[in-house]
């Protein structure tokens, strides 16, 4: 027993001395790349092609599953055990760069990584990859959300369907039919009220800003002004669970409800076309609808973001990791992500490729991107998500009274929470 213990102890010491990223199960000469569960098959193919194209790379390369939205917190817990190449949404760039978790991307003597990023990608995504004047991300996709609708519940032959689907008020006022094959009445419209990625739409529609016009002023949030209160009044009247016509749920669940003709229309991410609606014949899509405030139509305005591959600053293999990140996000592979995963590319040439430019779905995504506001990149954005979740939840579940004094107090607290010290 003592011999076994001694062997185990020696093995542990050897493992720790090698400085591996994920404990004894990971080879010291290994580069690990993270990607979403749905992207694994494509990502593994790309990695194999990278190996074939770069025979001088000696490290083993392994692909692991890690959701991009949680990547920042996972890396922050133990950077030395995290992957070398990590997919993140761009709003995590500032947080991670400030914490020293990201490797700066530069041009080398034989490589033009930084120049290629700046020259080849949509300017918005280049800005989103940059923090404090330094470049940290390899842009891969541009994301936003749009309106999907069921052609069974909202048939194409319906008179003035475009106007109807373009108005939240008209959809919520509609006499909804029963769910096909059921005596239960279908609901009309939904989005995730408890998610700050969607809850912003109404505030932006009435002219409010988050962290100022450019999203970089931590002291500039005016959601508690007169216009912000008007949207809160609208939300308290129309976006409550008790209303019977509006539904808040996870974006994927809402998309599934539309697919199953239980919900007339929803606002959900563009990626749902592949994840939920692939091959569906009863689904169509369009840009965001409007809401009516003081008798005026106000167009809902989406958030947008980009997903980017970054190199872990604690990686022992930064040179290979940087080459790999550049390869994964090149023009050809962005077109593959577009074709196989429904992701709108950040590469400017890929955007002009007929497979993207002439695709009806991508045309809607592009139109919505042009009307969107990018999620701010400053580290203080981390305070926004929980505050927005709390505010949206209190409206939907009815815990926040609909009187003006209560709504104003809730908005004042929200703005105060955003301005508090990190």
Predicted local distance difference test score (pLDDT) of residue 1 = 38
Query: Do the strands 263-269 and 187-190 form a parallel or antiparallel pair, or are they unpaired?
Result: parallel
Predicted local distance difference test score (pLDDT) of residue 24 = 41
Task: Delineate the domains of the chain, giving CATH numbers in brackets.
Answer: 29-143+305-374 (3.40.190.10), 145-303+379-419 (3.40.190.10)
Predicted local distance difference test score (pLDDT) of residue 278 = 87
Predicted local distance difference test score (pLDDT) of residue 20 = 39
pLDDT tens, per residue, the chain with 422 residues: 333 333 344 443 434 333 334 444 455 689 999 999 999 999 999 999 999 999 999 999 999 999 999 999 999 999 999 999 999 999 999 999 999 999 999 998 778 999 999 999 999 999 999 999 999 999 999 999 999 999 999 986 656 788 999 999 999 999 999 999 999 999 999 999 999 999 999 999 999 999 998 888 888 999 999 999 999 999 999 999 988 899 999 999 999 999 999 999 999 998 888 889 988 999 999 999 999 999 999 999 999 999 999 999 999 999 999 999 999 999 999 999 999 999 999 999 999 999 999 999 999 999 999 999 999 999 999 999 999 999 999 999 999 988 999 999 999 999 998 886 54
Predicted local distance difference test score (pLDDT) of residue 6 = 38
> Does the reported pTM lie above 0.85?
yes
Predicted local distance difference test score (pLDDT) of residue 159 = 60
Predicted local distance difference test score (pLDDT) of residue 76 = 95
Predicted local distance difference test score (pLDDT) of residue 270 = 87
Nearest-angstrom CA–CA distance, 127 and 371: 17
């Amino acid at each position: 027993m003592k011999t076994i213990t001694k062997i185990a102890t020696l093995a542990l010491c050897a493992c720790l001395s090698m400085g591996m990223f994920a404990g004894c199960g990971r080879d010291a000469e290994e580069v690990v790349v993270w990607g979403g569960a749905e992207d694994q098959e494509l990502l593994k193919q790309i990695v194999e092609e990278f190996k074939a194209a770069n025979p001088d790379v000696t490290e083993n390369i392994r692909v692991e599953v890690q959701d991009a939205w949680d990547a920042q917190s996972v890396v922050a817990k133990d950077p030395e055990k995290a992957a070398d190449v990590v997919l993140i949404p761009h709003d995590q760039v500032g947080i991670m760069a400030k914490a020293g978790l990201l490797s700066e991307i530069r041009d080398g003597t034989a490589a033009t990584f930084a120049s290629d990023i700046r020259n080849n990608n949509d300017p918005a995504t280049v800005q989103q990859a940059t923090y404090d004047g330094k470049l940290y991300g390899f842009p891969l996709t541009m994301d936003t959300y749009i309106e999907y609708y069921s052609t069974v519940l909202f048939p194409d032959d319906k008179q003035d369907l475009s106007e109807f689907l373009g108005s939240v008020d008209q959809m919520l006022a509609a006499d909804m039919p029963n769910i096909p094959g059921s005596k239960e009445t279908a609901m009309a419209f939904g989005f995730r009220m408890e998610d700050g990625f969607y809850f912003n739409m109404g505030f932006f529609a009435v002219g409010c800003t988050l962290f100022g016009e450019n999203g970089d002023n931590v002291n500039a949030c005016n959601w508690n002004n007169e216009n912000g209160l008007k949207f809160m009044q609208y939300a308290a009247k129309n976006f409550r669970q008790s209303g019977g016509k509006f539904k808040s749920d996870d974006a994927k669940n809402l998309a599934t409800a539309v697919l199953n003709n239980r919900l007339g229309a929803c606002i959900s991410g563009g990626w749902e076309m592949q994840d939920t609606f692939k091959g569906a014949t009863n689904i169509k899509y369009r840009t965001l609808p409007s809401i009516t405030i003081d008798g005026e139509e106000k167009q809902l305005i989406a958030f947008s973001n980009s997903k980017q591959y970054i190199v872990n600053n604690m990686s022992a293999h930064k040179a290979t990791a940087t080459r790999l990140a550049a390869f994964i996000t090149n023009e050809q592979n962005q077109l593959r992500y577009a074709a196989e995963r429904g992701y709108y590319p950040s590469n400017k040439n890929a955007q002009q490729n007929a497979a993207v430019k002439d695709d009806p779905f991508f045309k809607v995504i592009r139109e919505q991107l042009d009307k969107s506001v990018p999620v701010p990149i400053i580290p203080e954005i981390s305070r926004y998500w929980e505050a927005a979740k709390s505010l949206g939840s209190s409206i939907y579940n009815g815990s926040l009274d609909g009187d003006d004094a209560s709504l104003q107090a809730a908005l004042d607290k929200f703005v105060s929470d955003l301005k508090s010290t990190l």
